[in-house]
Structure 1
Amino acid sequence: MKRVAILISGGGSNMLALLDSMAEPGHCGMPCLVASNDPQASGLARAAERGVATAALDHRRFGKDRPAFEAELHRIITDHGADMICLAGFMRVLTAGFVTPWSGRMLNIHPSLLPKYRGLHSHARAIEAGDAEHGCTVHEVTPELDDGPILGQARVPIIEGDTPETLAARVLTMEHRLYPAVLRRFAAGDRTQLFLP
């Protein structure tokens, strides 16, 4: 059984999808912690309501000392006995100093069909480029932003008249399907790619 720490920065809708999935019979993962860099993140209360340990580590109190923030975050995660980490809307870029010790044990979901549109504003960028489809990707985390081995993707069509908001809503629905499916496989030792229609 893999003990999973989930990092969030907001409401944590993907976190909730992961928790629901891990509660199902036969899952090889179990949540040990939901942590946020924002003490006001509503996802913390939602995780606590489900009986999952939570922690808040306000990155602002560290100023520009990113290594100090990451060292404390690493300590909190390891103190909870985590075997792996899932980033679920965690809006802090993590440095190689944090990522490297978790190599092969940290997942992220990104709202684009990587390698397209790394970073922010992916929905608007896909529409502006005139793409016919968009989607989301679950990948292993490496020191390069949104660049690790791809473990799964799901696609949605871009419809005439789409705005970044309407497209984001449809992609989010697929994120809630894809991320739990990939985590279930990954926790069981299966790193083969999963592609949802």
Structure 2
Amino acid sequence: MSGDKVKRVRAVRKWLEKAESCYSSHKEVTGEINLIMAQAEMERLKETRRNGKGRKRALQIVALFAAFGVFLGLNAIWQALEPSKESMTPPVQVVQEKEPAPAVKKEEPEPLSVPSEIVDPGISAQPEPVYTVPEQPVPQPAATQPAVVTLQPAAPPVRTAAAAAPKPALSDKEIQSVVGEAGRALRGQG
């Protein structure tokens, strides 16, 4: 393609040189004809360049659709040749045993203890309600009946005057350093 462009450019230059020599010899009719021929060569050069781009784009689109068609065809063949997953697994018989489920005893989690050194004296601690499971004899339920557990709120803890206003064990700077060290330890930087 580029060889064709070079030929066209040389032809345009040749027609322009002829037109130049005709005008210098005072042959204006021949010079005009040579200029018209040079313009025709320029138009032809533009047409081939435009057609080349359009043709290239069309070939790219056709290649894209061809690749997509090949992909779909290979996928269909692959699906046809692949054995079905249902035919590969033998049927499984499910046998249910009717044994009573063992009684599950729920244990209360231990409350988290916070050292008194870390507690901020400015924050008043409001106790959260604690729920307990009443001790009842658990009947052996049948396999189909679920066990029923009822939760009842426990009595709130008794607050004393000493617990209402705790005294600070550490200064603000000490608290900040302890919290910083704990953060570094948690991140693995300590």
TM-score normalised to the size of structure 1? 0.16
Q: Which protein has greater RCO, CA pairs closer than 8 Å, 6+ apart?
A: 1
Q: Which structure is larger by alpha-carbon Rg, 1 or 2? A: 2
Structure with more helix by fraction: 2
TM-score normalised to the size of structure 2? 0.17
Structure with more strand by fraction: 1
